[in-house]
Amino acid sequence: MQVRRKMMEESEEEVYETELAQLFSEEDEIRVFFARLDEELNKVNQFYKSQECDFLERAETLNKQLHILIDLNHLLTHRHHKNPPPPPSPHYSGQSSSFLFFFVYAEDETKVLEANSQTDEVKATLEKNGVNFVNSNTTTKTKKGKAKMAMRIDIAATAPARAITAATSMLWEDLVNNPMMEGCMEINHKRKFQYAHKMIRGAFVELYRALGLLKTYSSLNMVAFSKILKKFDKVSCQKTSENYLKEVKRSHFISSDKVVRLMDEVESIFTKHFANNDRKKAMKFLRPQQQHKDSHMVTFFVGLFTGCSVSLFCVYAILAHLCGVFSPAKEAAYVHTIYPVFSVFTLLSLHLFMYGCNLFMWKSTRINYNFIFDFSPRTALKHRDAFLISATFMTAVVGAMVIHLLLRAAGFSPGQIDAIPGIVLLFFIILLICPFDIFYRPTRYCFICVLRNIICSPFYRVLLVDFFMADQLTSQIPLLRSLETTGCSFFGKIFKTYHPETCYSGRLYMEITYIISFLPYYWRAMQCARRWFDDNDINHLANMGKYVSAMVAAGARVTYGRKDDHLWFAIVLITSVVATIYQLYWDFVKDWGFLNPKSKNPWLRDDLILKNKSIYYLAMALNVVLRVAWVETVMHLKVGPAQSRLLDFLLASLEVIRRGHWNFYRLENEHLNNVGRFRAVKAVPLPFRETEFES
């Protein structure tokens, strides 16, 4: 057997071709085997070469970015000192900037003249490499007679929106020559420089991680070829694969040492410029170790709080029956004041429980959800953590309900004990924004940041975690409406303007109800508009249409709740059917990747993670059933206040369950898309964009 290398005439790529020098008993099968092995070896080599070339180019770009950052740091550091800035770094070319970066160079007039030559040299080098200085030759004098030279470096921002960035640019350009603003400008300079420093540091970390993955790819493929050839020798009772294995070891993906040398270079650069020559500190960034918590302790508390919540709920059911809170005489007051708060926490706990189920399933099926959501493996929630938070919430809520009923039975007035749900709500809000490192602070901080991005849509660039969370909010409209009732009740009591009927009927209540019913869909629609603005993909506009149709259907249903006539029933029916069909199409085709008539799996997709295909068909049927649960809301069943509230809660719970069920298949499709496109590391935006220098 001889393995030959030859160059392809069209692509000029080196490929391998095996020729059999002696006849085997099963020659045709052997030829097919080695032909397929050649094909795989060529694929591995070509992929490795393309990735290696890409990473080398990325490393060169990062080096240029780093040297621009170093020279800008020199200008900032030395602008208030007598000595001029050092000469510019000669190691880069062809770079420009992206977000606004201002500084004021103010010295005595004579000192400025002495420093001008070397300052101009640094500026000239930066300008040759695309960094644009605005008003760099303009000098003014302060009240004390000092010369002040105003300069602006254009370094463009990724968030918030470009319109706000442009307005900020003009504002700071006007203020930069104002001597009264020098202190504020100094703070702004440091903040912008730190931002650029953080971006480049993150890019080096991702480059190092990508190089590590490519190195692992090389070693795993070498192991795979070795095992396959050993098995061939065993089956064929030959020892002809030694020549082939030698050729594999000489192939590019094994023999090339560029990746290893580049990893060493990145380690050296990162240690010097981002870790103050502390290698141990540098490796904490480059090779972060996942923290392994004591899962047995977490599991114990999950079981403990789950048992406590179930026991307390049984106690609550008995006390509620004995106190007669759901009797016709008492149920209206109890349901309108107490139910909304407890409904909020119960729905939230259910959503956390479903998220824990999602985490468990994603981990079991090896879906890389941390990479998809850009979560840190060290601080990301595990499924046990989500179950623990859910069980803790339920225990606290049911315990508060039991205490409320006990105090009610003891003869306390409703005005004294109805504050208990509000206290529980206030406690959890304080815990959410608590700055201390307790109770999953990184997760709480990430949650608050994502909520900020959603509420401020479309002024922030939309990431996957942002629109994923916004989709969760569209399933929690009943929770938001319960918060509306709760806030109305407690603020009314605080400001002595409380009228019970105002918080569940009346004009103001209905107006706020419309707003709350629209808001989650509005935020999601604005995210789609922003993504279309950034990516120029028409699919985002089509997705926005889905949320607009949902807004129309939600508004029609709220109106029909007030005007029970045939006209509005027809409007509700038409708008809800259109919105439901739109949503089902988007669920199956766009979000899940199903309904592909040409797929090898009928009406699914080519790649599936779960082995049992029937699960996917059942998932589609279940999604259809839960999507049409709105039919109950237009039936107007004649039941009491408590039964009506419980029915609404049941429908809200079904929507939360549907969303948790939807989450798994949505991320499965995203994961398979990442695998198909070889996306294993995130793309980090850089503060300086490449431009061609025109002399």
More confident residue, 695 or 224: 224
Dist CA 336 CA 326 (whole Å): 12
Average pLDDT over residues 6-24: 62
pLDDT tens-digit readout, 32-51: 888 888 889 999 999 999 99
More confident residue, 388 or 90: 388
Confidence band, pLDDT 50/70/90 cuts, at residue 102: very low
Dist CA 238 CA 247 (whole Å): 18
Give the residue among 226, 232, 252 at the shortest CA–CA distance from 42. Answer: 252
Its pTM stands at: 0.79
pLDDT at 394 over 70: yes
In a domain, 256, yes or no: yes
CATH number at residue 42: 1.20.1050
Residue type, 585: Y
| Structural domains of the chain, count | 1
In a domain, 37, yes or no: yes
Q: Which conformational region is residue 48 in: left (phi greater than 0), alpha (psi within -120 to 50 degrees), or beta?
A: alpha
DSSP 65-126: HHHHHHHHHHHHHHTTSSSPPPPPPSS--SB---SEEEEEEEE-HHHHHHHHHHHHHHHHHH
Average pLDDT over residues 419-442: 85
More confident residue, 116 or 486: 486
More confident residue, 544 or 92: 544
More confident residue, 327 or 302: 302
Average pLDDT over residues 87-94: 50
Confidence band, pLDDT 50/70/90 cuts, at residue 694: very low
Confidence band, pLDDT 50/70/90 cuts, at residue 75: confident
Contact indicator for 514, 558 with CB cutoff of 8 Å:
yes
In a domain, 633, yes or no: no
- Tell me what pLDDT residue 429 has: 87
Torsions phi, psi for 168 (to 5 deg)? -65, -40
In a domain, 225, yes or no: yes
Confidence band, pLDDT 50/70/90 cuts, at residue 661: very high
Which two three-digit tokens encode residue 573?
A: 């029916």
- Tell me what pLDDT residue 671 has: 93
pLDDT at 437 over 80: yes
Confidence band, pLDDT 50/70/90 cuts, at residue 533: very high
Confidence band, pLDDT 50/70/90 cuts, at residue 157: very low
DSSP 8-state code for residue 153: E
Contact indicator for 174, 190 with CB cutoff of 8 Å:
no
Give the residue among 200, 135, 206, 198 at the shortest CA–CA distance from 172. Answer: 135
pLDDT tens-digit readout, 553-602: 999 998 888 777 788 889 999 999 999 999 999 999 999 999 998 899 99
Determine which of 339-348, 448-457, 541-550 has the lowest per-residue pLDDT on average: 339-348
In a domain, 437, yes or no: no
Confidence band, pLDDT 50/70/90 cuts, at residue 73: confident
Which two three-digit tokens encode residue 621?
A: 């049927």
- Tell me what pLDDT residue 545 has: 95
In a domain, 23, yes or no: yes
Q: Which domain holds residue 227?
A: 1-80+181-289
In a domain, 651, yes or no: no
Which two three-digit tokens encode residue 215?
A: 């190195």
pLDDT at 133 over 80: no
pLDDT tens-digit readout, 602-658: 999 999 999 999 999 999 999 999 999 888 877 777 666 677 778 888 999 999 999
Dist CA 531 CA 466 (whole Å): 11
Q: State how far the alpha carbon of 557 is from the alpha carbons of 337, 518, 636, in Å.
A: 24, 12, 11
Determine which of 326-330, 352-356, 431-435 has the lowest per-residue pLDDT on average: 326-330
First to last CA, the chain: 59
Contact indicator for 129, 695 with CB cutoff of 8 Å:
no
Contact indicator for 577, 550 with CB cutoff of 8 Å:
no
Dist CA 366 CA 198 (whole Å): 30
Dist CA 299 CA 524 (whole Å): 36
In a domain, 468, yes or no: no
Give the residue among 137, 142, 111 at the shortest CA–CA distance from 124. Answer: 137
- Tell me what pLDDT residue 214 has: 92
Percent helix, strand, coil in the chain (nearest 5)?
70, 5, 25
> Residue for token digits 């009406």?
603
